[in-house]
Chains A and B, each alone.
Chain A
């Protein structure tokens, strides 16, 4: 294997170091955007929004708002000096609605006041008149009326229709999968401070400082170089702060320039839940043909997503659903139609997995249904249909599968979790228990790593080595809890063989590292780690050149070690080496840059290599359901996951555990509900329930796959881990179906939707029970 430099047993990389902020997190000393001491004359923003889902804004009278106590400034669309649309890829997201309103909660105006409470009170004084138009609120209606935010797109390989006709067995159906509220614990927040010469600095809780910079500059009508966006940390992001942090930053910045004050725009939990987009809900229809063994011969999918009122990132999100509706299985003949439906609801956006989970769950549903039809254990059908790296190795988008280690992962997990023995004891349990039924499922995850939009696969870093040997690190990635900063500090300290404590992590800033992608698509470490390593290597090379010359020795005799820089028999501390270099006028600051190799994708022909590599894993989950009430408990979960050569096993396991439970929430207790007028009913944590501590299974075993460095040349041969584990929770949802199926000895396929709330489970229990 052609390992990159520094493949010797690493000292900093691969250690389970604590999150760099852990000690400050636990003592309340890690500040978030809203935690700074108030600046002089700071003002606070509240947003006024539409109470109607669809209509024409005929009157927006803000006189009473302007006169209200404490109000400093009020803005609406007319006050925007520059671009009025902040759509990130395609237009369609007005900062403030003007003529047409398209969802309940759409911003119409904003108020800045001396306190948040006064701003909130002032907002309620607006006189708003909207002439209503009939809204389209649900996915089925949008599908029927062919309302789209972007044109449909199709991927295909082989001849699905003729192969379907020729298949000995055939199933067809659909499943609905719900959306998901991000519920980052820290809501959207921005603080804008105006500077000299028309410049503005925005402290923003965002995964995408460069995008916020662009949006703010365009809204203000000023060049990008007058806007600095700073992100130290987010209290959670999960995709919700990829594009949808921008509006609040723009509003804060506009107020800051107009009033020459510091302006805080932080959404209340209610406003955050109502005004910002969520994970897309999907309706996935399938028509699949297979042989008597259960081997798939052809499949035709329609994946329809509810995008809300505007495109936002929906094109790429539905594409990723399409990229993942094969999951780990070879589909010899396949056609996938991806439909981007428009409704008069908030614009749905990125959420961990980015459509991938919604596609993958369709495939696992098909597999389960084939198993029912063939009267086999679903795990057998899964194994039978796995990709290999020979004939059965082309994805529906024509990427060649290489290095496919999932069959081994599944075999190892099957044996470690005692799948067969437990399957047997569950069968016995179900035979003698009329009310409580148990279910078990083992499902794989294959998740493509890279932005499917090729140009986003780049990032930069900036590293300074000071003359005392201490290191300052900056890069394009943002910290939202995923441990990116400590991983990259480990990478940089590895280059200098210094202690990670010697590397100071600084806030992500657009004036330090420009033109960055969002921290998204699980790519944070892959992109920024490589960029930071390149920056550090540049400085290291300069030091080596300088020391070799100064000490008149071979470059190969200069070695960076944990005790210092060895130059032949001499030993200098890193500080001494840095100081000598500085005195000799050697630059100790460098930028680093990285772009992912090999990736390309031609969307018109839906073919190429959108993914550098795949992250793999598998989970086995066991549940118990109550067939009288639909209540459900998760009893045990076993996970085996492939993170390549881990840069920080503690961080990686944290991502797996957290991703699994977040996915579990999406598929069980988290239910978004709207009323008939388009108003979100599940608009608070009292009505929208993310998993609590009581929902975690009493037995939970997570292991990282050992001795499996990434075959591709990624940073220290690691693999991305942010999103893939979320989809491990599909095993729990399939286990619920398995438990329901036990009512009729798995003769009737339970047409379960997600989320599997108690009500949904009871509905399907009845359906199965009453089936002919």
Chain B
């Protein structure tokens, strides 16, 4: 049994099919057809809804893709859909602004935009988000519009955020918050085919008992099997409530990040220690994806084009893998063993990622190259941790995504750079060494030749940046 609030009404239901998506529930079970299906893969945002959950002494509102979110993830949350924003026939300020600024043309993407704007509006009210242009673009990065060119939607956002006056939701915050806390009586783990354990040891036991079950964190990848490949997922173990997996521990030397920490939270957790990472994290998927997708998920699906692994490998991170037998730790670079294959055993799960804090002398460089700037998968992703002392590279770890069947360190390249000045000659040698490290493939995103060339050119970019030359090296600096 799961319980949540649908707009204003509490709902409790048994998950007969654990793989039912929120969008399917809304459109096919509740006949609420305001929320649209544009792609059923989390790429267009037409299905965007908002979930509210207790946090910061109030409610936190997050936009998400209802098409790739399983209903079970809504337990003890409020699901807000576009039908709920009007009050007594009066449009919500974000809706009113969209009308006044001519923000809809065909209107099909509009409910999704409205819901992203709504989450931004609520986040601005509580100071979680800013009202500047960057914040607007970030919150709307996962909503595609084919008609307007986005300009009137940006204007609508600016209008609505100008005063962020109190709305109907503010009046019911306390009541909803209390209801959600009351609902948060965890579902009985074995009462259905949707398990939702509270602790890591309980999770380990469930994992043993149900080897066929699929682990669900954000689900942004798993759900595609259902919506795109038409598969049934018979049993799900949901990780979202496992306390240990959501924890972050910080010591002087390390940061330990639980596997279900979302990419959105990661931005805050790592932002101060690794400001170089922020531009990439802000282009990581879309806002909707970052709100649900997790660090553990980004490792577990072992995609060769995932963006976190190169960074974590460059930083020398380890992951903690747990089972009923205990916890073992391994270097992340050893964790990826083949195309979409990992060292994770059948009864294990990722518990956490442990990142050693580099010394002050080290510099992190992160470059993500993709066809489209926002919400696109990298054709090449580079992360490098570099220490230069007295003009010589004394520490170097370079890892790439998109260059091999797995995210991978460039060991020959590192050898060419190590102990050398980071100058033109060295870079040329390091570039050549990349040919020994990688034999990239040609696919829909880029050709092998482009990947290899850009990987080398990114070393040149880094060299220029390290040299302190006062010229821009990235187009987003212009």
Contact = CB atoms under 8 A, between A and B. Distances in A.
Interface of A: 16, 18-19, 21-32, 34-38, 117, 120-121, 124, 182-187, 233-238, 268-270, 432-436, 438, 480-483, 624-626, 628-633, 635, 650-651, 653-654, 657-662, 669, 671, 673, 681-682, 684-687, 689-696, 698, 700, 757-759, 762-763
A742 to B, nearest CB: 14
A689 B32 CA distance: 29
A650 B98 CA distance: 13
Contacts of A235: 36, 106-109
Tell me the interface secondary structure of chain A in the complex: loop
Given A184-B106, A629-B457, A661-B149, A692 B374 contact: yes
Given A26-B99, A27-B85, 6 more contacts: A34-B37, A236-B106, A268-B40, A435-B471, A689-B371, A693-B137
A684 B150 contact: no
A660 B152 CA distance: 13
28 contacts: A23-B91, A25-B110, A26-B95, A28-B82, A29-B34, A30-B107, A32-B36, A185-B106, A186-B38, A269-B38, A435-B464, A436-B472, A628-B473, A631-B373, A657-B151, A657-B152, A658-B146, A658-B148, A659-B149, A661-B150, A669-B371, A684-B39, A684-B228, A686-B41, A690-B144, A691-B149, A693-B153, A758-B454
A165 to B, nearest CB: 40
B83 A27 contact: yes
Interface stretch (B196-204, B242-250, B389-397, B440-448): B440-448
Contacts of A234: 106
A187 B36 CA distance: 11
Contact of A26 (B44, B91, B372): B91
Given A25-B104, A270-B228, A631 B151 contact: no
The size class of the interface chain B forms with chain A is 35 or more
A32 B108 contact: yes
B40 to A, nearest CB: 6
A26 B98 contact: yes
A625 B472 CA distance: 11
Residue in A238, A268, A685 whose Cβ sees the most chain B Cβ within 10 Å: A685
A759 B82 contact: no
A21 B475 contact: no
Interface string B141-170: 101111111111110000000000000000
Contacts of A686: 41, 43, 377
Contacts of A629: 369, 454, 457-458, 461
A706 B290 CA distance: 45
Q: Which 8 pairs across A and B sit closest by C-beta, in order of nearness?
A: A28-B34, A235-B108, A481-B106, A25-B107, A661-B149, A481-B105, A685-B43, A694-B374
A186 B371 contact: no
Interface in B79-127: 81-83, 85-86, 91, 95, 98-100, 102-111, 114
Contacts of A763: 450
Given A28-B82, A185-B38, A481-B106, A669 B372 contact: yes
Tell me the interface secondary structure of chain B in the complex: loop
A16 B100 CA distance: 10
Residue in B39, B447, B460, B475 whose Cβ sees the most chain A Cβ within 10 Å: B475
Given A629-B454, A669-B372, A693-B137, A37 B31 contact: yes
Given A235-B36, A236-B146, A27 B153 contact: no
Residue in A36, A481, A669, A693 whose Cβ sees the most chain B Cβ within 10 Å: A693
B474 interface: yes
Nearest to B111: A28
A174 to B, nearest CB: 21
A600 B445 CA distance: 46
Nearest to B377: A686
A689 B446 contact: no
A694 B37 CA distance: 22
A762 B43 CA distance: 27
Contacts of B376: 689
Given A185-B106, A694-B137, A762-B450, A682 B149 contact: no
Contacts of B32: 28
A631 B102 CA distance: 31
Interface string B7-33: 000000000000000000000000111
Nearest to A627: B457
Residue in B104, B137, B146, B373 whose Cβ sees the most chain A Cβ within 10 Å: B146
Contacts of A482: 105
Contacts of B371: 669, 671, 689, 757-758
A678 to B, nearest CB: 14
Nearest to A626: B475
A35 B34 CA distance: 8
Contact of B105 (A29, A624, A626, A654): A654
Contacts of A673: 444
A32 B376 CA distance: 29
Contacts of A38: 31
B36 to A, nearest CB: 7
Contacts of A28: 32-35, 81-83, 111
Nearest to B367: A629
A228 B25 CA distance: 32
B443 A681 contact: yes
B443 A435 contact: no
Contact of A269 (B39, B102, B474): B39
B38 to A, nearest CB: 5
B155 to A, nearest CB: 10
Nearest to A273: B39
B108 A186 contact: yes
A643 to B, nearest CB: 15
Contacts of A22: 98-99, 102, 104, 107
B230 A27 contact: no
A590 to B, nearest CB: 30
A116 to B, nearest CB: 9
A768 to B, nearest CB: 15
A633 B150 contact: no
B41 A684 contact: yes
A27 B86 contact: yes
Given A22-B102, A435-B472, A628-B458, A693 B107 contact: no
A692 B142 CA distance: 8
Contacts of A185: 36, 38, 44, 46, 106, 108-109, 144-146
Contact of B141 (A117, A121, A269, A692): A692
Contacts of B148: 654, 657-658, 661
B372 A689 contact: yes
Contacts of A432: 471
A117 B83 CA distance: 26
Interface string B293-337: 000000000000000000000000000000000000000000000
B447 A183 contact: no
Nearest to B157: A693
A207 B85 CA distance: 32
B41 A269 contact: yes
B476 interface: yes
Given A186-B108, A235-B108, A657-B152, A124 B144 contact: no
B478 A481 contact: no
A629 B371 CA distance: 11
Contacts of A233: 106-107
B102 A654 contact: yes
B141 to A, nearest CB: 6
B99 A35 contact: no
B375 interface: yes
B49 to A, nearest CB: 11
B453 interface: yes
A641 B147 CA distance: 18
Given A692-B374, A694-B373, A695-B372, A687 B95 contact: no
B99 A23 contact: yes
B25 to A, nearest CB: 14
B461 A435 contact: yes
Nearest to A35: B33
B140 interface: yes
